[in-house]
Amino acid sequence: MTSVRGALLETVGQPVVIADLELIEPRAGEVRVRMLASGVCHSDLHVRDGEWDRPTPIVMGHEGAGIVEVVGAGVTSPRVGELVALSWLIPCGVCRSCRRGHVWACPDSPSYRHVLLDGTAPFGRAGIPVRAYCAISTMAEAVVVPAAAAIPLPDGTDPAVAALIGCCVTTGVGAVLKTAAVPAGASVAVIGLGGVGLSCVMGAVIAGASRIVAIDRVEAKLEAARAVGATDTILAGDDAASTIEALRDLTDGGPDFVFEAIGRTDTAELAIAALPLGGTAVLVGMTPLGARAAFEVYPFVDGSRRILGSNYGFAEPAIDFPRYAAWTLDGRLPVERLIDRRIRLDDVEDAFAAMRRGDYTRQVIEFGP
Ligand SMILES: NC(=O)c1ccc[n+]([C@@H]2O[C@H](COP(=O)([O-])OP(=O)(O)OC[C@H]3O[C@@H](n4cnc5c(N)ncnc54)[C@H](O)[C@@H]3O)[C@@H](O)[C@H]2O)c1
Ligand SMILES: [Zn+2]
Ligand SMILES: [Zn+2]
């Protein structure tokens, strides 16, 4: 057993506490990672606020990077000392989605049970098992994860940037390049400019989009979007019709692709309503469970419009993480510009409060001295 501090959610809707936890030693096929950085993603906040049905007690966090400290029996990759980003979805390998190669859509992943492959919870507290969110729980000083979840990144990758590759970058860039396969010259709109939405903007730049319209209700987010390549911005108010009108004016009648990166039904409806003929709405934001949205069917069909759902940017982490990391190193993905607040583990509740207010683009917890 190793002793670590971690961000523990004992009851949904209650504050996360920083607790002393026991961490199991890595067994066959597992590795221990000493965490260097963990992003704070809105998905953590959904869990913390009880909008999704997740078991407790659980250690929070699913967007992180660290150094491999110990490898269990039979592990050939990663190696001790390597910088790894952690993948929050470890495919089961045998379900219908996995058999088709759609690993990002695996419903049987141990990540969704928040335990290791054999069902063991990696943490304990006073003898009570404590689960790890998405089987990686990046908001702890060290974690034990399946080796397949720890993806080595190129030398020189900034650990905070590596952490963001673990969720928001892969989710947003992948939604544009993989899920939607936006062609060069297309017009793109992104609604919601947190880490996920800004990553959609960066993906649209790489795709060669002709116009990238960034939309948020917070002015500072619009500036952040311009800094990573948005060509135009719209400050959204409560009136969806005026947002749509402004969007149509900027994009010759409506953007070819609209990415919803908030997780609200009204903005999902806005994304669909703004589509021109043949346009595609890509839903990336995650609503509370059970939420429903509506759209007018006739013009949707008549105009050959499309709606796509995008989980984890259709990630194949072992291929995509090093590729995205290489793009951060050659300047094509300016991920460091997303990080506007660096905090300590003890500040996690403050970070959640700031996220509710829309205060920062991406907050990163840094570990170590
Ligand atoms: N599909 C996936 O695999 C996946 C992966 C990661 C995160 N997510 C989801 O993506 C969403 C975004 O995550 P994030 O971490 O970037 O969140 P965030 O809170 O950092 O960013 C959300 C942004 O939306 C803006 N916003 C809120 N309400 C708005 C409104 N009515 N109109 C315009 N802008 C508004 C906020 O100001 C903020 O800038 C969350 O729902 C998260 O759970 C999905
Ligand atoms: Zn996330
Ligand atoms: Zn599967």
Q: What is the pLDDT of residues 6-17, one digit of tens each?
A: 999 999 999 999
Model's pTM, two decimal places? 0.98
Ligand 1: which atom is nearest the Cα of residue 309? 1
**241: pLDDT strictly greater than 90:** yes
Phi, psi (5° rounding) for residue 112?
-80, -10
- Mean pLDDT in residue range 166-188: 98
Q: Say if residues 62 and 41 touch (Cβ distance below 8 Å).
A: yes
d(CA 171, CA 43): 12
d(CA 368, CA 69): 14
Give the pLDDT of residue 132. 98
> Predicted confidence band at 369 (pLDDT cuts at 50, 70, 90)?
confident
> Predicted confidence band at 167 (pLDDT cuts at 50, 70, 90)?
very high
Q: What is the pLDDT of residues 105-153, one digit of tens each?
A: 999 999 999 999 999 999 999 999 999 999 999 999 999 999 999 999 9
Give me the residues paired with residue 129 across strands. Answer: 124
d(CA 76, CA 82): 12
Could you say which ligand is closest to the alpha carbon of residue 194? 1
Ligand 1: which atom is nearest the Cα of residue 195? 16
d(CA 92, CA 106): 7
Distance set, CA 113 to CA 56, 134, 247 (Å): 11, 7, 41
**368: pLDDT strictly greater than 90:** no
User: What is the pairing mode between strands 17-23 and 150-152?
Assistant: unpaired
Residue type, 133: Y
Helix (H) or strand (E) holding 188: strand 187-191
The answer for residues whose C-beta is within 8 angstroms of residue 87's C-beta and 6 or more apart is 136, 148, 149, 150, 151, 166, 315, 317, 321
**317: pLDDT strictly greater than 90:** yes
Give the pLDDT of residue 53. 86
User: What is the pairing mode between strands 123-125 and 17-23?
Assistant: antiparallel
- Across the chain, mean pLDDT equals 97
d(CA 349, CA 229): 31
Q: What is the pLDDT of residues 23-54, one digit of tens each?
A: 999 999 999 999 999 999 999 999 999 999 89
Ligand 1 centroid–CA 43 distance in Å is 9
Could you say which ligand is closest to the alpha carbon of residue 105? 3
- Mean pLDDT in residue range 60-73: 98
d(CA 12, CA 157): 34
Write out residues with Cβ below 6 Å of ligand 1: 41-43, 46, 167-168, 171, 191-197, 215-218, 221, 236, 261-264, 267, 284-286, 310-312, 355, 358
Phi-psi region of 360 (alpha: psi -120 to 50; beta: other; left: phi over 0): beta
Ligand 1: which atom is nearest the Cα of residue 197? 16
Give the pLDDT of residue 305. 98
User: What b/e sequence results for 285-294 when a residue is b if at least 16 CB atoms lie within 10 Å of its CB, and e otherwise?
Assistant: bbbeeeeebe
Give the pLDDT of residue 149. 98
Give the pLDDT of residue 120. 96
Ligand 2 centroid–CA 168 distance in Å is 6
User: What is the pairing mode between strands 211-216 and 187-191?
Assistant: parallel
Give the pLDDT of residue 233. 98
